[in-house]
Structure 1
Amino acid sequence: MAILILVMVVAVAGIILIDRSQTAYLDVDSNPEFAPNAYLIRHVNVVPMTSDTVLMDQMVLIREGVIAGIADTITEAKAEVIDANGGYLSPGLIDMHVHVWDKYELGLYLANGITTVRNLWGHPMHLRMKEAINQEAVIGPLFYTSGPKLTGPEYIGDDNRQLFTPEEAGSKVVEYKERGYDFIKTYNGLTRELFDAIIAKANALDVDIVAHPSANVPYRYHFRPEIVTIEHTEDIVQQPLEYQLDTAKLSEVVDWYAAHPTTAHCPTLVVYHNIYRLLTEADILNAEELNYMNPLIRAVDSKAQYDRWIGTKANDSTLVGRIKNQHDFHLYSIKKLHERGVPIVAGTDAGISITPAGYSLHQELNFYTQAGMSNYEALQTATINPSRTHDFLTNQGSIEVGKVANLILTENNPLEDLDVLKNPELILVRGRRIKRETLDTFKQKARNRNNLLVSALRYAENLVIEK
């Protein structure tokens, strides 16, 4: 038995070491391109996102990972010059609702111009990932994560932390803050008693809450100062509207949001629309974009979602139409929320179902323009709007002196065509420059990666530690 255990330990260690070697391309020390430097970007048109404008033919100075100057002329002899040749400099994008499964996805986010992510299903591996990024040992988007999802006693599943008493609920808030998680995620199934305990403790500890609405309390209950964002437009339909596409009831929900301007809405439209794709695209599980999904998620969750919806479709001839109608109602809901000035922050639920890291944010922004936003307004949801939610995001989201140098350089103006953000000429993350060729390599490395077993080991680690 001892020999068997030893063999298993050695095997697990070997699998982890192989995975580390395969993702070494993200190690800062092994790639001179990621070395910190001072940069002077010349002949660049700045999209500051502080207003709907472009500052033409500017110079931007980057020093120690921060924007140090923006002017017509800057003299800086000790900075490496980057000639933008009339390109456009925008703030790095922020995806406010993702599920990260491996380091490869860090490269995918960067390759898509996403320089900050908010991970909403915390595992122990995410604390290690966050530490490596913060210590600048690994190149990746700025990384913030919730703890495990908090739910009530009847919500059984290995993806949730069930709570049974208010004392336990409060203690989990304390524990997750002490362990280094950045905020709390509440989930469906929380009772009022449990939710009250979480909110009280979060308030006492100055910890933010992100809420997947719980059907066990009224939807209006979620408008609390401690809750900075409410997730998922689909839950507006499923909870206060009781699955009815009722415009009058929607107006009431919009009024609730408008009366609580410190609470932002995170739509995640793309992940719901992907249900429609599962139902209507016969070969969807072999789509090119799914080659960039984590292989464990692709084998388990993507397949399970496909089987679930195709099975339901077989017994319900109205399903496809109802899903499409609800998606269209989501667009209408975003239009009405936006018209009332409700803060909207872009989030995708990337990492589950058939929603790959990085690519999905561009789809999400496209849905916002379909809902009536201008390109500038849609871009706000992934830049300046997130910076107004958590304190840890205030130094991002716009191009201003003193802000973190998370930047995207594109050949053309994103305010005219958001799609130019899909393939940046280069990005800067904390002032570290990454060129287009390297970003393309990040995509290639992540495509059809072979890390199913190590992903399963890390998921098993989560089950052991969190249960």
Structure 2
Amino acid sequence: MKYALVNATVLDGTADMQPLHNAVVLVNGDRIEQVVGEHTKLPDLQDYEFVDIDGGYVLPGLINLHAHLAPSGKPPKPRKKPVDYTKMYALMTGNRAIRALAKSMVARFAQIELYSGVTTLRTAGGVLDFDAQIRDEIYAGKRKGPRILPANTAISVPGGHFAGSIATIAHDEDEARSQVRALADSGAQWVKLMVTGGVMDADKEGEPGVLRMPEEIVQAACDEAHRLGLKVEAHAESAAGVRVALEHGVDTVEHGAELDDELVSLFKSTGAAYINTISPSLPYALFDIEESHALPEAKVNGNIVMQGMIDCAKRCLEEGIPVGLGNDVGCPFVAHYDYWRELCYFHKFVGASTVQTLHTATLGNARIVGIDEYTGSIEAGKFADMIVVDSNPLEDLSVLRNVRMVFMQGRMVDRPRIKRYAATDALLDRYL
């Protein structure tokens, strides 16, 4: 299709973006052909289908750099002991019929991501190779969804974060290398390492990010991944975990912790990026236990992790270290339509400006994962990955909650409909 988006206000995703009013965006097939300002002569548009934006705002599709497509993100039920994720994973993969049902559910969540305005999504641990399969089916036009940069199943260690569920278990360096090769064969583009524990599996209060993965396993996995042309993302929720991840070659650190000067130096010398993910920690840290249904130690640890991420993001921004955004979607209270909240939290808690936040979630994120040559900004020659909202997100980022249109490589979804969790939304809206 050839579209002419008329009466548009364009925010192009660059670091110093300003609204371009009364603009026309020309889309030819899967690419942006031209962005025409109000004082520029229009080309012949007789072959284009006109799409009247009616003063709305056209901006790059959002890029979510930390997602788990398998879980729904629904609130947990009240419980007296932690969820057995290994048992849950075994049930999801137990036979062919259940696996087909589980894959269909994952694909549906991917479509919700697209309909909420996410046009590119990097996964960080999932069920079997579903993420790569769904990526390929989206590319083939068999499903609707965002561009997926899959990690498929993560790699953990005995007793490690999500070991035996969305993460395989590496007992030594040879197993880690073998699992990386298996991921490459399954179509993964990233390797996810569970370097530390997390809030949901901490042994006691005050230790949510205990170092779990031995340094030699991190090194072996990173070396093998890079040999095969894959990049590595590392779950690290403590300073010790961040240090091990950076010293042994990861490309991005997920979640993070408060940084000292040594860790800042490591970030700079390695060129690694930091991915901020406030969304999953906020309910643990800020909700009453009666609302979050969290165990008491999880509330304490959630607060530690949330503050560590905020401090880490602030220090990285001060030091010029690349910072990206993801929302760890699939965790409790983090729904597949709610990436926009992560932008609001980055603005509110980290103190980034609205321009800086929107740039981070679009072109900035694209640069971190090496796809900025073809997406992340409204620019001639790039893929037509765009969203339309009714008012200016630079004045209020929460307008991203309701997306009027989504374009994914030129394919338009007009007024996408999403089923939302009203009770969860009401709880989370208190922290915007």
1:70 alignment partner, one of 18, 25, 35: 35
| Equivalent position of 1:162 in the other structure | 169
1:180-329 matches, within 5 Å, as 180-188=187-195, 189-213=212-236, 219-223=242-246, 227-233=250-256, 236-237=257-258, 250-260=260-270, 262-277=271-286, 279-280=287-288, 282-284=290-292, 306=293, 308-310=294-296, 312=297, 323-324=302-303, 327-328=306-307
The residue type equivalent to 1:364 in the other structure is: E
Q: Does 1:83 align with 2:55?
A: no
- Offset from partner CA, 1:235-287 (integer Å, 9 cap, x none): x25xxxxxxxxxxx645434433444x3111121110112124x516345xxx
1:19-168 matches, within 5 Å, as 37-50=1-14, 51-72=16-37, 73-101=42-70, 102-122=106-126, 123-155=128-160, 156-168=163-175
Contact residue 12 and residue 59 of structure 2 kept, 8 A: yes
Q: Does 1:172 align with 2:179?
A: yes
Aligned-partner Cα distance in 2 for 1:74–1:203: 46
The residue type equivalent to 1:212 in the other structure is: H
The residue type equivalent to 1:186 in the other structure is: L
The structure with more helix, counted as a fraction of residues? 1
| Equivalent position of 1:356 in the other structure | 335
Q: 1:198 to 1:348 in 2, by over 3 A?
A: same
Contact residue 228 and residue 390 of structure 1 kept, 8 A: no
- Offset from partner CA, 1:158-198 (integer Å, 9 cap, x none): 33211123222222222211221111111123222222221
TM-score (norm 1): 0.71
- Offset from partner CA, 1:122-163 (integer Å, 9 cap, x none): 323223211211111111111121031112345353332111
Contact residue 275 and residue 309 of structure 1 kept, 8 A: no
Contact residue 117 and residue 143 of structure 1 kept, 8 A: yes
Contact residue 39 and residue 61 of structure 1 kept, 8 A: yes
The residue type equivalent to 1:65 in the other structure is: D
Aligned-partner Cα distance in 2 for 1:107–1:147: 17
Aligned-partner Cα distance in 2 for 1:202–1:363: 32
SS at match of 1:265: strand
Runs of 4+ in 1 over 4 A off after TM superposition: 214-218, 322-326
Q: 1:374 to 1:225 in 2, by over 3 A?
A: farther
TM-score (norm 2): 0.77
Q: Return the offset for 1:41.
A: 0.8
The residue type equivalent to 2:267 in the other structure is: Y
Q: Return the offset for 1:226.
A: 5.3
Contact residue 275 and residue 323 of structure 1 kept, 8 A: yes
| Equivalent position of 1:425 in the other structure | 404
Q: Return the offset for 1:324.
A: 4.3
SS at match of 1:383: helix
Aligned residues: 363
SS at match of 1:199: helix
Bigger shift: 173-182 or 150-159? 150-159
Q: 1:333 to 1:168 in 2, by over 3 A?
A: closer
Contact residue 267 and residue 347 of structure 1 kept, 8 A: yes
2:386 alignment partner, one of 407, 411, 426: 407
Q: Does 1:368 align with 2:346?
A: yes
Q: Return the offset for 1:225.
A: 9.2
**RMSD (CA atoms):** 2.7
Gaps of 5+ in 1: 1-36, 238-248, 285-305, 314-318, 449-467
Contact residue 202 and residue 226 of structure 1 kept, 8 A: no
Aligned-partner Cα distance in 2 for 1:407–1:213: 32
| Equivalent position of 2:101 in the other structure | none
Aligned-partner Cα distance in 1 for 2:215–2:239: 7
1:434 alignment partner, one of 402, 410, 413: 413
Gaps of 5+ in 2: 71-105, 196-211, 424-432
